[in-house]
Amino acid sequence: MTDPMHNDRDLQNGLYILERYMGFSLEDIALLLRHSRPAAIGYLAQLGAVLNPDGSTGLIPAAADKLRKLLYEAKDAARQGT
């Protein structure tokens, strides 16, 4: 199902950047999506929008830091069992 607010290309590119360049594991990404799916999708789309067709990126947006923070919160919540 397509997200009505973000295009598929930006979401896929965001996942690619998150895993390839930022070092997030697939387990980390799954945890992010389970913890706060709407926020994660929004940040991924912002992050993916900077990937150029040649594989280079423009400036990495603040979404990268927000995704790191969201992962920290998700891992903390998982440790606490909430």
Tens digit of each residue's pLDDT (9 = 90 or more) over 63-81: 889 999 999 999 999 999 8
pTM, to two decimals: 0.82
User: Do residues 63 and 47 lie in contact, with contact meaning Cβ atoms separated by under 8 Å?
Assistant: yes
Distance CA 57, CA 4 (A): 25
Q: Note the pLDDT tens digit of each residue in 54-64.
A: 777 777 778 88
pLDDT above 90 covers what percent of the chain?
55
Domain locations along the chain: 11-80
- pLDDT for position 5: 66
18 or 81, higher pLDDT: 18
pLDDT confidence of residue 1: 46
Given a contact cutoff of 8 angstroms between Cβ atoms, the answer to whether 61 and 32 are in contact is no
